Amino acid sequence: MSVSVAPDDRPVIAHTGPWYFPIAFLARLPFAMMVVGVLTLVVSVTGSVALGGLTSAAVGIGTVLAGPIVGDLVDRHGQRRVLVPLGLANSALLASFPFVVSVLPPTWLLLLAALLIGTSAPQAAAMSRSRLMAIIRERLAAPRRARAFSRTMAYESAADETAFVIGPVVVGVLASFIAPWAPIAGAAALSFVFVTAFALHPTARAGVGPDDGPAEIAPARALLRLPVVVLVAATFAVGAFFGATLTSLTSFMAEQGDVDSAALLYGIMGIGSAVLALAVAALPPRFALRWRWMLFAGVLVAATAAFTLSTTVSAVTVALVIMGLGVGPTLVTLFSLAGARAPLGRTATIMTVLGSSVALAQSLASAVTGAIAEELGAAAAMVLPLVAAALVLVLAVANLGVERGMRRTAVPERHPLTPSLAPTPDLG
């Protein structure tokens, strides 16, 4: 049963407790590790890059197939009831995957095992966003909510950026110094310990009613509205950017004879991205979200164009730093808009859908970019991040039209900090 807490002036961390944030961060690492970990293990055992890419893509497809279902179950029954069995299942599937690969099964069985791993992925990042939004809405005094929401979304996006950078690095370190199966075993252990701890944390009760579900919930068809779809498409493009950038960068560094430094350079982009994502919280509220999306997507396109044209390691490094300054704030903006546009009682669903879009796009883009790099070289592969970045900008322009249509038809948009479905001030 949900515990009723009177709103007060304390900060968010006073309501979550100091251990919530490290637990929530570590709980999202398995999700960040599994795509790269599966790719590394399959390529190491089978020697086939194509099969490795196909298998990692199956993980991403699994997350997308399950994402809306998991989000719907959480919105209806609460996080604890869903995440505990899901985390345990994911841990077991990850732990068994090295044994499955070692017997060199038929391709369909290998792909099925990878698909099940993706299907059972708990997506702690999406759940954390949904949980913290509920805490802000229910437990913080009204004057504190807007700034707390901005800061929280900035932190969550920075944590995602950091996890997506640390995940591949951890995979590389474990695979290099222990064995190719070690990253998958590590992800299984993290899922067993920290996803379970995250699911059982007292904050999991936020946002649920007496029956462990919301008092009201919008129909699933509300998620198919254009204002939501444009955000899903944009997060897909951001995921494609991540996958294409990492893979093309790896190919470029391999041609330079220093492939081991690819993860380090990618980390430089991720660090800058995470830092500026946090800085978004300091932007004034009058700097509307729709214009933030336009601005930072423009920065991303310009920097990625420089990356595409770079021929030296130093030029690539500078481009990566600036790319990070564009992609981090863009991701913060997209999730903030998603919080504002989530239909009533559907916050967890929309967050899991967006998280699934990133994961699927990352894995598909990695596979496609790897194939192009193998056939045409790094220079051709380095065009793909620019295509993904340009799509983010095109969707930012499309979003301006979507918002004009919302205002013209007076479509009510639920404020992320209020429980009722009522018209609100322009948040975008």
CB 233 within 8 A of CB 397: no
Q: CA-CA distance, 394 to 201, in Å (whole number)? A: 40
List the domain boundaries for the chain: 19-409
Q: Return the minimum-mean-pLDDT range out of 188-202, 304-318, 346-360.
A: 346-360
Mean pLDDT value of segment 372-391: 91
Judge whether residue 215 has pLDDT over 60. no
- % of the chain with per-residue pLDDT over 90: 18
Query: What is the arithmetic mean of pLDDT over 262-289?
Result: 73
pLDDT of 2 over the 50 cut: no
Given a cut of 50, whether residue 424 has pLDDT beyond it is no
> Contact, 365 vs 384, CB < 8 A?
yes
Global pTM reads 0.71
- pLDDT at position 221 is 61
Per-residue pLDDT at 420 exceeds 50: no
- Range 248-262 average pLDDT: 78
- Measured torsion, CA atoms of residues 170, 132, 343, 284, in degrees rounded to the nearest 10: -90
pLDDT at residue number 425? 35
What was the pLDDT predicted at 1? 42
CATH number of 19-409: 1.20.1250.20
Tokens at residue 107, please? Answer: 């391709």
- Residue 249 · residue 304 · CB < 8 Å: no
User: Would you state the pLDDT for residue 396?
Assistant: 92
pLDDT band at 256 (very low <50, low <70, confident <90, very high): confident
User: What is the sign, positive or negative, of the torsion defined by CA atoms of 206, 163, 149, 120?
Assistant: negative
| Per-residue exposure over 267-305, b if at least 16 CB sit within 10 Å of its own CB, e if not | bbbbbbbbebbbebbeeeeeeebbebbbbbbbbbbebbb
Task: Please state, in angstroms and rounded to a whole number, the distance separating the CA atoms of residues 112 and 79.
Answer: 26
pLDDT in tens, 128-177: 887 888 888 777 777 777 777 777 777 777 777 677 767 777 877 787 78
Q: Is 312 helix (H, G, I), strand (E, B) or coil?
A: coil
Are 229 and 44 spatial neighbours (Cβ–Cβ below 8 Å)?
A: no
SS (H, E, C) 182-234: HHHHHHHHHHHHHHHHHHHCHHHHCCCCCCCCCCCCCCHHHHHCHHHHHHHHH
Instruction: State the pLDDT at residue 260.
Output: 61
Give the whole-angstrom CA distance, residue 151 versus residue 278.
7
Q: Which segments of 335-375 are extended strands (E)?
A: none
What is the reported pLDDT for 426?
40
pLDDT per position as a tens digit, 14-63: 888 888 889 988 988 887 788 778 877 887 788 776 677 788 778 878 87
User: Which one-letter amino acid corresponds to residue 258?
Assistant: D
pLDDT in tens, 66-93: 877 887 787 777 788 888 898 899 999 9
Instruction: Give the residues across from 140 on adjacent strands.
Output: 8
The whole-angstrom separation of Cα 24 and Cα 398 is: 34
pLDDT at 259: 66
For the cut 80, the answer to whether the pLDDT of residue 226 exceeds it is no
DSSP state, 59?
Answer: H
Mean pLDDT of 285-308: 89
